[in-house]
Structure 1
Amino acid sequence: MLAERRQNDNTMDGARVAKALDAQAALLPYALGVFAISLPLFVWVGSFAANRIWMTASFAVFAINWGAFYAAINGLRDDASQDLGRRARVYVLCGVMWALAVVQISAFAQGAGPARETLLMMATAGAVLCAFFAAPYLPGLLIVAPLAAAGPMIAHFSSGGDRQEGELTFGATALGLTLALILNRMFRRQHDLSVVHEQLVEERLRVLEGAERTARSKSDIVATLSHEIRNGLTGVTHVLAAAAGKGGRAAPSREQLNAALDAAQDLIAVLNATLDSETAESGRLSVEALPFDPARLIQDLVLLDKPHAAAKGLELAVHIDPLLRGRDKGAAIADALRTRQIVANLLGNAVKYTVRGRIEVRVELRGDQVAVEVADTGPGLSTEEMEQAFEPFRRVERTGAGVNGAGLGLSLSRQLARLMGGALEARSAVGVGSCFTLTLPFDDAAECEFEEELEASASEPPGAPRTLRVLIAEDDALNAAMLRAILEQLGHQVVHAQNGRRAADLARIAEFDLLMLDHRMPVLDGPGAASALRGADGPNRNAPIVAMIDGDGEEATEFLEAGADIVLRKPVSVAAIARTLADAAALDRRDVAKSEAA
């Protein structure tokens, strides 16, 4: 906080200096005009002086000053004029040169004979003018004004001249310096107001730009979702209508059912990507930094995509760096779920856009980072097309025609990689293929937590090894019916509560192996129900709790703080429920082992 305040103060001081130097620059032409008008009067008075050589020297000084002024004005028009220190030095030097001209006139007056007093008065007026034109920049004023006033003051009081004229010179220079200081103060106030006004304008422009960006984002979301949802739901509707026997049509074939299922899954993927993108854009997307085995994660994903690649006649190969095999220690430090999401998107794109050839996945250890490369022999992208591919809601027309998607996968993946302390880069060549590289932090001393339990749960069939008694709290009837169907399909017993209060009451009188709570429910929401279950004495106080959220990071944090153990994002699928039950079983085994050890 203190460093930020100091930075703001430094920015404010720099803006003040810039304003003062701008005002100084605006006065330079007027200073030249005043001294040009005064020159004929000086020549006329100097013509009465006894020493004509001093007159020649005065003309030479004036010529040098004018040349220096014009050089300074022209020199400060280039890019180097943005250097405030350089500008300040140039302005002070110009003021010092005119102050020295005043001193020279004072010295000239000492031997001017009958013109002495008039020349000294002119030197005094020159000193006052120097103070006035140096007023915008305080350091320059404090240097130039005393130097200019020193000439006539010393000339008056050192030669035993008229004391009254000396006092008049002292009063005039003192008054001129005082007025210059007052003028400087007025300049500072005006500059402060101008700086604040500019900051307010910049802030308003930033807010306006953010609002316009948000409006464009919302418009893109509506356009994308309307297109994808309309097309997907149209196909699903036709298949369901055929299944219901409407219109006298025959029952749908297996191919039609698979196409409808693919369309529904594409819709879910589009919605999930859109929600994640909006959450990341607003800065509310949270990621974890936990150790995990990147090699095993990549191998699992490749196994899932191999059937899709084989169906298109593509070769899908994976190469693991030998340094990552057989290690007792060492793990990637990132969010395993988000890493899986990124790599799954890269693999999915490679399979989707590659017509023939092969897809190769490489996992390599590069110093303190682990790199995952996904290379394909697809159509490839040009530099402009690659930049477009990473923009939200932008799709490359040459390669994306006829392919479903929201155009969010790559942009969201890059955001996720940056949030985890890594990066997502790409290189491509048209007609050759593309290669996307994900890099994540790697710690040689880290160990994957509960590795044995995870391996054991992964080796078990989907679902838990025994029949579980599951309590679900869900107010939406359709979601509850779908969740019940999945759990019963996996061989478990289900009890349904329509709100969090009912779930808490049931948990006090009956024993359950697992509790699944929705976030938004009437009477008592999910976090409130989880907190009530953890705080009450009963058979389910230590039972695993699964939090079902809509994808908001704040919802997950609220649920975990209330006592939930596992977070499950909706819409749910059979695979997601099976993994959740396996995680709950592994969690239950760790709790039993800890209690037995205690």
Structure 2
Amino acid sequence: FQVQEQAILWPHQRWVRLSILIDITEHKQIEHAFRSSEERFELAMKGASNGLWDWNLETNKVYFSPRYKEMLGYQESEFKNDLEEWRRHIHPEDLNVCITALNNYLEKQVTKYEATFRMSHKNGHYLWILSRGFAIWDQQNKPVRLVGTHADITGQKEIEEALKQALATAEQAKQAADVANRAKSTFLANMSHELRTPLNGILGYTQILLRDNTLSAKHKQGIQVIEKSGEYLLTLINDILDLSKIEAGKVELSPNRFVLNEFLQGITDLFRMRAQQKGIQFSYQPLSPLPPVIYVDEKRLRQVLINLLGNALKFTTQGSVNLRVGVEQGKLRIQVEDTGIGISPTELDKIFIPFQQVGDQHYRTEGTGLGLSITKKLVELMQGELHVKSALNKGSIFWIVLDLPEIANEESLFSGIQDIPVPIIGFEGEVKCILIVDDKLESRLILIDFLRTLGFSVIEAASGKEAMEKAVCYRPDLIMTDIVMPDINGFELTRQIRNSADLKDTVVIAISASVFEHHQQESFQVGCDDFIPKPIRFQQLLERLQAHLNLIWIYQDMDFSVKVKPQVRLETSLDCLGPPAEIAQLLIEFAELGDVGSIMQLIETVQADHQELSLFFQKIRELAGNFDLDEIADLVRVYL
């Protein structure tokens, strides 16, 4: 109960005390319930690690719960319940964030109050706080009270910041990797071009010389050694390029049918010669009857064997290297054994890691550490297995196991084998004119020598500008252009050709030492009809020429095998004038007499007065320099 007392002055100046006893049981119950509810809410907030705040907007008084103050490291009495205390503890950079969030909510621009900011701890560091609250509105829709919670989200913020830094670090690493990849791609492109260009000369002329039937067997054997060595060097160059492609998932197998014995014989001949140079024994032994024909990616299988046998020879200084091949349960097993330095058990797992080299330091300097990594990846691409056994100072055995198609299908396998092509010595029909464009003289000479022996009329240009001038003058049937040239490159030259009304239908084949697909794709995008990589394979070139020019070849063993005489076709146009009749007559007479000196002297005498004939005189000089006097006579007669 509650007692209320009051003094009352009665009549006659008499004071009386009036006591009133009020039953406040219900009020006390409500008060107790409210206090219990508040305690439970405070316990709940504490259990949730949250603090409670209560702001009376009419009196501007604020209440911070004990848990609120505890979060900031303060006792109840150390943190005042006023707004200035709250302001002092907010990070200076975040105060506007809090005030803006409150105003936006109270002005009903947003449906809830929520703000994230930093508050100083008693120890001096800052905590990240997530503040949430709601308002109580009066009947006039005016906010009178704002109640909310504070949650310590410092740990969450630290995780977010760590993640942000990790992402930034990852992005930096990605950018660095992209830069490195671009640098690698540029290096590979340059290396490929610079190394393949001289190889084009080596392999190009070996193909030309091997067509010469006047060479002795000894000379041909020597040229074949040069060719195989060049092919081996080209394979080594391709190793680095292939690793890049394999790791990028861009290598696709191209299975084909080929004669296994011939394939193995070629490999054996190459490495027997290298073994003899080192003074070690090399042997090839079939372990079982072998299928005459197999269906595998011949190029990749050759690459695998060259890598394995190359390693065996490199790490063997005495003893032998043996190649053993057999078929077991429909699987082809190719085994390479050597008596070399061997590999310790602790290092066996490292040998397939790119750029990882093991063993003696002397041998590490002889390679790149890519061969076995590439070999393993290629074998796996072919759905095969690569195994190794080795003992230190005793030698190593590497073997691969590949699935073979059913032997019962031998006839279908043989159907894919073409006979060795009979040498082509010419073609039927009118003479075709080909323009060769390359800034490298040796690259032009290879194609000129080869094509002229087949009866083509060949003209050449050392630059894109010169090529365009000669294309307008001679109107070739086909243009073969290198991509990389100093002034106008092959891409720009092709664009100009496609934009020319007179040349737009001319066949253009891009030739390049680059092996990157984007160069090949770009050549087609600018208008090239075909793409041939360097070093140029003449068989591939012949196939492309036949397809684009609709040629019918003349073979050496045909009854009508008359070699077509190389000619030059010069189509007149306003852009390429011919000489006056009197000069043409003199040129014919000197050509029929075989008088090259007089031809050169005549050109020197008249060219100053006939600047418009510069392209014509340039061609006559080229023909005279090559002693192609009959061609000069045939060419000039059209101007009489």
TM-score range, shorter chain: 0.3 to 0.5
TM-score of the superposed pair, with normalisation by structure 2: 0.45
Alignment TM-score, normalising by the size of structure 1: 0.47
More helix by share: 1
Q: Which structure: greater strand fraction?
A: 2
